């Protein structure tokens, strides 16, 4: 089954304690992305990756890091989490397209993070 | 001003009603327009996409884009309780999935 998986699904942590949220896709997609979803703000892109070893900032990258060492995995790292990073996080992947075409973007089930 | 504006609702209608969901945007470079549906505790799933202006129909769903007014709509005919979800509009200037800009989402409830 084609899917994007994220772990953990729920996480409660304390300020300053480093954490990693994993994301993996089994569709051989080049493009992967992380979003956060907050009430009243919708989905905002944190980082994206066009392919292995190619990453770039989205709209809200501060306080986050990513890496893309393998095509299937795109972990999100919070080196020193703060309460304003409490949010619902989604990983997504798609085939990279160009020109007059678009492609379905598959989303993971989400990770609800609470930073105390 | 947000690049994409969407009424967050909530919107509650009786089963069988026609539902109209809308988004406005300010960036005239947007060419690709999408609607995602998000059920509670799930990730968004692509429902409809259109390129440039015009209409697109898929079953009970119709997406409309009016680039001159910077306005997009999603119509749901014969609404069903299973359509109850949050609907997010999204758009981008370039092809493909990168640099999508989302609206806030509209929470819709269809009452049996």
pLDDT at A21: 98
Which residues of chain B are at the A interface, by a Cβ-Cβ cutoff of 8 Å? Answer: 4, 6, 8, 32, 34, 41-46, 49, 51, 88, 90, 92, 94-100, 102-105
- Could you list the pLDDT tens digit for every one of the 116 residues in chain A? 889 999 999 999 999 999 999 999 999 988 899 999 998 888 999 999 988 999 999 989 999 999 999 999 999 999 999 999 999 999 999 876 554 445 677 899 999 999 99
Q: Has residue B94 got a pLDDT over 50?
A: yes
Strand-strand pairing, B106-111 and B85-92: antiparallel
Report CB contact under 8 Å: A94, B96: yes
Contact predicate B105/B21, CB 8 Å: no
Contact predicate A90/A69, CB 8 Å: no
Interface test with B, best of A33, A89, A91, A102 (most B CBs within 10 A): A102
pLDDT at A40: 83
Contact predicate B107/B86, CB 8 Å: yes
| Tens of pLDDT, residues B6-63 | 987 899 999 999 999 999 999 999 988 999 999 998 999 989 988 888 899 999 999 9
| Tens of pLDDT, residues B96-109 | 556 788 999 999 99
Question: Which DSSP string do the residues of A35-60 spell out, in sequence order?
Answer: EEEETTTEEEEEEEEEETTEEEE-S-
Strand-strand pairing, A111-115 and A87-94: antiparallel
Report CB contact under 8 Å: B95, A102: yes
- The SS3 of residue B112 is coil
Residue B4 β-bridge partners = B25
Of A35, A42, A99, the CB nearest to B104: A42
Higher pLDDT, residue B93 or B79: B79
pLDDT at B88: 95
How close A106 gets to chain B, by Cα (Å)?
7
Chain B CB contacts of A90 under 8 Å are 43-44
């Amino acid at each position: 089954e084609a899917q994007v998986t994220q772990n953990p699904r729920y996480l409660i942590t304390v300020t300053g304690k480093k954490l990693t949220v994993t994301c993996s896709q089994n569709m051989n997609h080049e493009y992967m992305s992380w979003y956060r979803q907050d009430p009243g703000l919708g989905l905002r892109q944190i980082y994206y990756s066009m392919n292995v070893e190619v990453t770039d900032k989205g709209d809200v990258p501060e306080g986050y890091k990513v890496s893309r060492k393998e095509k299937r995995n795109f972990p999100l790292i919070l080196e020193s989490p703060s309460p304003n990073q409490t949010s619902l996080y989604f990983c997504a992947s798609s085939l990279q397209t160009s020109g007059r075409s678009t492609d379905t973007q598959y989303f993971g089930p989400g990770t609800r993070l609470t930073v105390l | 001003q947000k690049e994409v504006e969407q009424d967050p609702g909530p919107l509650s209608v009786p089963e069988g009603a026609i539902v109209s969901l809308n988004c406005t945007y300010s960036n005239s470079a947007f060419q690709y327009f999408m609607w995602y549906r998000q059920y509670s505790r799930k990730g968004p799933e692509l429902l409809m996409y259109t390129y440039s202006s015009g209409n697109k129909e898929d079953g009970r769903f119709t997406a409309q884009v009016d680039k001159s007014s910077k306005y997009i709509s999603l119509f749901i005919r014969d609404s069903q309780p299973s359509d109850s979800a949050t609907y997010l509009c999204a758009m981008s200037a370039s092809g493909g999935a990168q640099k999508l800009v989302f609206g806030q989402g509209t929470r819709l409830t269809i009452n049996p």
